Chain A
């Protein structure tokens, strides 16, 4: 046990170090600024680097050509990407990989193609209870929404009522409309009109991912993993917004003293630290127990929801407070604090809003557990 922990810690440490190639801790955000409000809003060259670093195969088994790492490693990486506000859609892309046919998967893991999942129909929800997108007789019809960075995908993995299907972005009958987001990225709405697609599973999605067969159960688990990784991304970005703020409190002078000496601001900073530590504890508890094979699926979901609900709230709280504690300077677009707020506004609801996760946490918790 000790041996395993030590080796994992070492793996995670190396993974965090490798993340510096793309998102060095506290590094400049000029690349992120330059990509804002462009399409596809991220860089294929960086995607190649990401592939080269082996991150796309992080969660795949060694037999599938991956590294077989757990959610702890995945969250550590996501946290690093969050502090760097990395726009490349790694978290959604990881969902698709296990479901791809081997040849396509090899291309995707090599970073040659990008396959993003198109699963969502309702805002803020992690699983559509009854998808209105259908996959019958080899063609897709319906609509999927809120696909992050959709314009940069080559294929979409579509969750239809009849199962998962794979469709090229430029296939006949597929149309993509993008809407810019506050962080400078975008969300795609995909409409399918008798679009020819390849089946990935034949399991119906009638009652939602939670109660479906093995492929769809795996897809639901992949969504949960994305939710947890998103919580880690949010923690990373909130942490860095907080550090930026602490720096300002330590250096900015007004009334002949550092503003960090004012008790009102000290207490505010203490509250934010508390929120961050609650988030960190919740996140790593969820990640560790997720990786434990003895943890039942329902408990995994509950822990994911606990962590994601907390991280979503904390990210908005901390980034909004960062603006307030800086004052006017942070209300300019050229100062970095705003980048963190805008990213939090966009990422916070992804893979289930705080409210959705709070509800699921309640549903999955024994009624008198805490009493």
Chain B
């Protein structure tokens, strides 16, 4: 692949800037351009709610920070991408439907055909195609390789039948990338392929699932004899599993980012102030313990970020960040519930102040130890791949 731009980049190359200067550029851009009413949204936003922000980023050329510049991305180094994401999080920028950017783009850049890249990448950049991910199934969660959705070749088409679950914002997407079984006789990881499927295809039915936050963030997607042309397969047949694994990039580090625990700790302090407990010695003791936990977590996180900056790939150690962050987040919200007493059971924030919502945050902290690989799976990874224990 030559370096001549296929899709001209809209943004300048920020890599030569020093980190602090780049940070300043990001902060300024957010302050001037981010829609104020979308700061710190209480839950994941639907496309209709957040598309204006998507289009602002697309216009600026910032929608795909990790894509190479010749494909219309920012071409940022991992270190600069981390700065960008940190500043977005600090500012309270909403998470966009970013599966096209984070998953499909890198997938096609690495394994796609030139025709696939030329067709799909510009449409992801523009927001014309919004993607959702079809990985998990009712009987393939932690054991994803056990998936049973099946793709059968019929003449010039693949015919896909099965069921996907935990598909984030499928009701907003017009395309889905999915893993389906193409060889039932092979070892389970070796008979899986990667497909691109229009959500408008006949035979697709989407059922939103209301989660414990009483929000319809996830969906079930039913596929009944859905036909896609042969060129909607990505890469080699039966190589889907290894492609999916290879796509687990350095973004995994963000599952261990201190953001959620730090945010919860700030909320805990605000709650204690509201309840008049801030000077209570019992509270002080617990609060200080959490601060220490968070400070140490930040230190561990910095170790891993520094390795990324040095160009090292992330190892299995990154699971430790996820386990510690998610459980610290949960311990803080459990303590919030304890001191909030009756207030902790309220459905809405105390006095309408979104910063004071112990019950809401407690519930939000529940799935953090489940999604992205449960903490049980993460501990298995630490035991096997970090400690090299037998079994």
Chain A contact residues, CB within 8 Å of chain B: 37, 120, 123-125, 145-146, 179-183, 187, 253-256, 262, 264-265, 316, 320, 323-324, 327-328, 331-334, 338, 341-342, 345-350, 353-356
User: Would B370 and A255 count as touching, CB distance under 8 A?
Assistant: no
Complex contact A316–B346 (CB within 8 A): no
Which residues on B sit within 8 Å (CB–CB) of A334? 209-210
Are A320 and B334 touching (Cβ within 8 A)?
Answer: yes
Check B143–A182 contact: CB distance below 8 A.
Answer: no
Query: Given the complex of chains A and B, what is the CA–CA distance between A354 and B334 in angstroms?
Result: 13
Given A253-B139, A354-B338, residue A328 in contact with residue B371 (CB < 8 A): yes
For chain B, the count of residues having a C-beta within 8 Å of the partner chain is: 42
CA distance A145 to B275 in the complex (A): 15
* B334–A327 CB distance below 8 A: no
Residues of A within 8 A of B42 (CB): none
Tell me the B296-339 residues at the A interface (CB within 8 Å). 330, 334, 337-339
**Once the chains are docked, how many angstroms separate the CA of A328 from the CA of B368?**
10
Within 8 A of A (CB), among B204-221: 209-212, 214, 218
B370 to A345, Cβ gap below 8 A? no
Instruction: Using known A-B contacts A123-B340, A264-B379, determine if residue A346 contacts B211 with beta carbons closer than 8 Å.
Output: no
- On chain A, the residues within 8 Å of B369 by CB distance are 324
Question: Which of B211, B337, B345 touches A331 (beta carbons < 8 Å)?
Answer: B211
Q: Which 7 A-B pairs have the closest CB atoms?
A: A124-B341, A346-B345, A123-B341, A349-B341, A254-B143, A180-B347, A333-B210
Q: Name the contact of B275 in the complex, choosing from A123, A183, A341, A350 (C-beta under 8 A).
A: A123
A349 touching B344, Cβ below 8 Å:
yes
How many whole Å from B335's CB to the nearest CB in chain A? 10
Cβ-neighbour of A328 out of B146, B166, B343 (below 8 A): B166
In the complex, B363 has a CB within 8 A of chain A: yes
Once A123-B341, A187-B345 are accepted as A-B contacts, the answer to whether A332 and B209 lie under 8 Å apart by CB is yes
- CB < 8 Å neighbour of B342 from A253, A327, A350: A350
Contact B370–A331 (Cβ < 8 Å): yes
Contact residues in B for A120 (Cβ distance below 8 Å)? 342
- B182 on the A face (CB < 8 A): no
Q: Are A328 and B165 in contact (CB under 8 A)?
A: yes
Given A254-B143, A331-B212, A332-B211, are A182 and B347 also a contact pair (CB < 8 Å)? Answer: yes
A residues less than 8 Å from B143 (CB atoms): 254-256
Chain A residues in 8 Å Cβ range of B141:
254, 327-328
Taking the nearest CB of chain A, how far is it from the CB of B326, in angstroms? 10
B183: Cβ under 8 A from any A Cβ: no
The smallest C-beta distance from A79 to any residue of chain B, in angstroms, reads 20
Which residue on chain A has the smallest CB distance to residue B360?
A182
- In the bound complex, residues from chain A placing their C-beta under 8 Å from that of B139 are 253-254
Task: Contact check, A254 vs B146: say whether CB atoms are below 8 A apart.
Answer: yes
Please, which residues of chain A bring their CB within 8 A of the CB of B343?
123
Q: Is the CB–CB distance between B362 and A345 below 8 Å?
A: yes
With A333-B211, A342-B363, A347-B345 given, can you name 7 additional A-B contacts, CB distance below 8 Å?
A: A316-B334, A320-B366, A323-B366, A324-B369, A328-B141, A341-B366, A345-B344
* Chain A: CB-nearest residue to B362: A345
Q: In the complex, what residue of chain A is closest to B338 when comparing beta carbons?
A: A355
Asked if B161 is an interface residue, CB under 8 A from chain A, the answer is: no
How far, in angstroms, from A341 to B359 measured CA to CA in the complex? 11
Query: How many angstroms between the C-alpha atoms of A350 and B218 in the bound complex?
Result: 33
Q: Name B residues whose Cβ lies closer than 8 Å to a Cβ of A.
A: 136, 139, 141-143, 146, 165-166, 209-212, 214, 218, 275, 330, 334, 337-348, 359, 362-363, 366-367, 369-371, 374-376, 379-380
Q: Complex Cα distance A338/B370, Å?
A: 14
Most buried by A among B136, B209, B344, B379: B344
A316 to chain B: which residues have CB within 8 Å? Answer: 334, 337
Beta-carbon contact of B214 and A333 below 8 Å: yes
* Distance, CA A327 to CA B348, complexed state (A): 25
How far is A355 from B338 in the complex, measured between Cα atoms in Å? 8
Task: Please state if B212 and A146 are interface contacts (CB–CB under 8 Å).
Answer: no
CB distance from A138 to the nearest CB of B (A): 30
Give the chain B neighbours of A349 by CB distance below 8 A.
340-342, 344-345
**Residues of B contacting A179 with CB < 8 Å?**
346-348
Provide the bound-state CA to CA distance between A254 and B148, in Å. Answer: 13
B212 touches A333 (CB 8 A): yes
A271 CA to B340 CA, complexed, in Å: 26
Instruction: For A186, give the chain B residue with the smallest CB separation.
Output: B347
Which residues of B sit under 8 angstroms from A350, Cβ to Cβ?
342
- CB atoms of B363 and A327 under 8 A apart: no
- The listed residue (B146, B374, B379) touching A327 by CB distance below 8 A is B374
Max chain B C-beta neighbours (<10 A), residue from A120, A124, A253: A124
**Contacts of B338 on A, CB cut-off 8 Å?**
353-355
B345 touches A183 (CB 8 A): yes
A-B contact pairs, 27 of them (CB 8 A): A37-B347, A179-B348, A181-B346, A182-B363, A187-B345, A253-B139, A256-B143, A264-B379, A265-B376, A323-B370, A324-B370, A328-B141, A328-B367, A331-B211, A331-B366, A332-B211, A333-B211, A334-B209, A341-B366, A345-B359, A345-B362, A348-B344, A348-B345, A349-B341, A349-B344, A353-B338, A355-B339
Residue among B340, B347, B367 having the largest count of chain A Cβ atoms under 10 Å = B347
Contacts of B376 in A (CB 8 A): 262, 264-265
| Interface contact A123-B342, CB-CB below 8 Å | yes
User: Which of chain A's residues have a CB closer than 8 A to the CB of B348?
Assistant: 179-180
Tell me the complex Cα distance, A350–B165, Å: 37
Task: Give the nearest-CB partner of B145 in chain A.
Answer: A255
| B residues less than 8 Å from A345 (CB atoms) | 337, 344-345, 359, 362
* Chain B minimum-CB-distance residue to A320: B366
User: Is the beta-carbon distance between A328 and B344 smaller than 8 angstroms?
Assistant: no
Q: Distance (Å) between the CB of B381 and the closest chain A CB?
A: 13
A146 contact set on B, CB distance < 8 A: 342
Nearest-neighbour CB distance to chain B for A313, whole angstroms, equals 9
C-alpha spacing A57/B370, complex, angstroms: 46
A124 to B214, CA, bound (A): 26
CB contacts (< 8 Å) of B214 on chain A: these are 333
The residue on A at minimum CB distance from B210 is A333
Chain A residues, CB < 8 A from B367: 328, 331
In the bound assembly, the distance between CA atoms of A123 and B350 in angstroms comes to 13
Assembled-state Cα–Cα distance A167/B141 (Å): 55
| Residue of A180, A265, A345 with most chain B CB atoms under a 10 A cut-off | A345
Question: Does B212 lie within 8 Å of A338, measured CB to CB?
Answer: yes
- A333 vs B211: C-alpha distance in the bound complex, in angstroms? 5
Whether B346 pairs with A187 at a CB distance below 8 angstroms is: yes
Chain A residues with CB below 8 A from B330, complex form: 320
